[in-house]
């Protein structure tokens, strides 16, 4: 596999997931060319070896061991022309948001605190403050079952923090956004204000993967969990945050099993009390 990119055998993924789970995988490979990515996937499919694409690891729960290939993309091109920006899938969304604001471009300021890659954020239709990525996208360059394609948002369905791109296992290579002109000082003030609120309300001092559950219609998942008396509840090294109940934090060497067991416990308790099935926002990698 070395002809496709840099390969690490029996690799630790602790520094590649925001939960900081000390997960390991059989092979970790770094790919910086979309053609090599296509060739690698074709090769892995032919020899029946499982794989998954790892972004920033900010919305996933890794297994303690993955008996396959973890692919870390390094696709970071950046092009800006007037109000149009094209970036590679590996480009960080929060970095993109901050750069566009400095260019006096309005539309992505809400994403300045989202620690995910552009590719992962598009696949999951990242959203915050009642804003989302989809209205900003002009086109996507993707790998669809080994075929390079250019698509638009008319070519797939999307909803709150979900797209059918994920269901169809389409891989994002580049995304092109169209933004509006804005007032840089006003946009910077919005980011400053929201950053202050986020620091005060979220457990950023501990490893986590962001919001665990989607908000049910008409409710806030964190409030349901808090009112179920679960703040601070702990299983192994995983704990429900005292600061925000819709965050599970790695308090002390949490394992994948600790986190998954705590998720199951939360779901059961909220359903017992409210009859509401909480929908997991984070992706469990098996």
Mean pLDDT by 10 residues, the chain (286 residues): 90 96 96 95 95 92 96 94 96 96 96 93 90 96 94 94 88 97 96 91 94 94 97 98 97 96 98 97 92
Give the H or E element holding residue 8: strand 6-12
Fold that domain 78-186 belongs to in CATH: 3.30.465
**Residue 1: predicted pLDDT:** 74
Question: Which residues are catalytically annotated?
Answer: 161, 211, 281
**Residue 286: predicted pLDDT:** 87
**Residue 151: predicted pLDDT:** 97
**Where does CATH 3.90.78.10 sit in the chain?**
221-284
Give the H or E element holding residue 24: strand 24-31
Give the H or E element holding residue 31: strand 24-31
Please enumerate in sequence order all residues whose Cβ is within 8 A of that of 225, keeping only pairs 6 or more positions apart, or say none.
Answer: 213, 231, 240, 245, 246, 266, 270, 278
Between strands 147-151 and 137-144, the pairing is antiparallel
Condensed to tens digits (0 to 9), the pLDDT of residues 141-186 reads 999 988 999 999 999 999 988 899 988 889 999 999 999 999 999 9
Contact 116, 126 (CB under 8 A): yes
Q: Which long-range contacts (CB under 8 A, 24 or more apart) does 145-152 make?
A: 145/169, 146/38, 146/41, 146/42, 148/34, 148/38, 148/173
Using CA atoms, how far apart are residues 26 and 266, in angstroms rounded to an integer? 32
Contact 40, 1 (CB under 8 A): yes
Using CA atoms, how far apart are residues 51 and 286, in angstroms rounded to an integer? 10
**Where does CATH 3.30.43.10 sit in the chain?**
6-73
**Residue 122: predicted pLDDT:** 96
Contact 140, 122 (CB under 8 A): yes
Using CA atoms, how far apart are residues 175 and 197, in angstroms rounded to an integer? 29
Using CA atoms, how far apart are residues 46 and 44, in angstroms rounded to an integer? 5
**Residue 49: predicted pLDDT:** 96
Condensed to tens digits (0 to 9), the pLDDT of residues 119-143 reads 999 999 998 888 999 999 999 999 9
SS3 248: strand
Domain range 6-73, CATH class: alpha beta
**Residue 41: predicted pLDDT:** 95
At 239, give phi and psi (nearest 5°): -140, 145
pTM confidence score: 0.90
- Does domain 221-284 bear CATH number 2.40.40.20? no
Query: In sequence order, which ranges of the chain are alpha helices (DSSP H)?
Result: 34-46, 93-102, 118-123, 164-167, 184-201, 221-227, 256-274
What is the number of H-type helices and E-type strands within the chain?
7, 20
């Amino acid at each position: 596999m070395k002809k496709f990119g840099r390969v690490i055998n029996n690799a630790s993924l602790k520094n590649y997931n925001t939960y900081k789970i000390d997960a390991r995988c059989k092979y970790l490979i770094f790919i910086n060319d979309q053609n090599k990515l296509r060739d690698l996937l074709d090769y892995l499919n032919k020899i029946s070896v499982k794989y998954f694409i790892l972004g920033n690891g900010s919305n996933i729960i890794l297994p303690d061991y993955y008996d396959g290939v973890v692919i870390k993309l390094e696709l970071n091109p950046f092009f800006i022309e007037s109000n149009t920006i094209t970036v590679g899938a590996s480009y960080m969304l929060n970095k993109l948001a901050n750069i566009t604001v400095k260019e006096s471009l309005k539309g992505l300021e809400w994403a300045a605190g989202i620690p995910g890659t552009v590719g992962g954020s598009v696949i999951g239709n990242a959203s915050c403050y009642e804003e989302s990525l989809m209205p900003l996208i002009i086109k996507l360059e993707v790998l669809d079952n080994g075929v390079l394609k250019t698509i638009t948002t008319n070519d797939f369905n999307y909803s709150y923090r979900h797209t059918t791109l994920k269901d169809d296992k389409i891989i994002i290579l580049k995304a092109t956004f169209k933004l509006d002109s804005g007032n840089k000082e006003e946009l910077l003030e919005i980011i400053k204000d929201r950053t202050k609120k986020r620091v005060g309300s979220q457990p950023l001092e501990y490893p986590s993967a962001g919001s665990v559950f989607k908000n049910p219609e008409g409710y806030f998942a964190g409030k349901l969990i808090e009112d179920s008396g679960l703040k601070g509840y702990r299983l192994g090294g995983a704990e429900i945050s005292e600061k925000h109940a819709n965050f599970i934090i790695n308090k002390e060497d949490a394992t994948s099993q600790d986190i998954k067991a705590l998720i199951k416990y939360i779901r059961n308790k909220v359903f017992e009390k409210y009859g509401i099935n909480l929908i997991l926002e984070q992706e469990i990698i098996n």
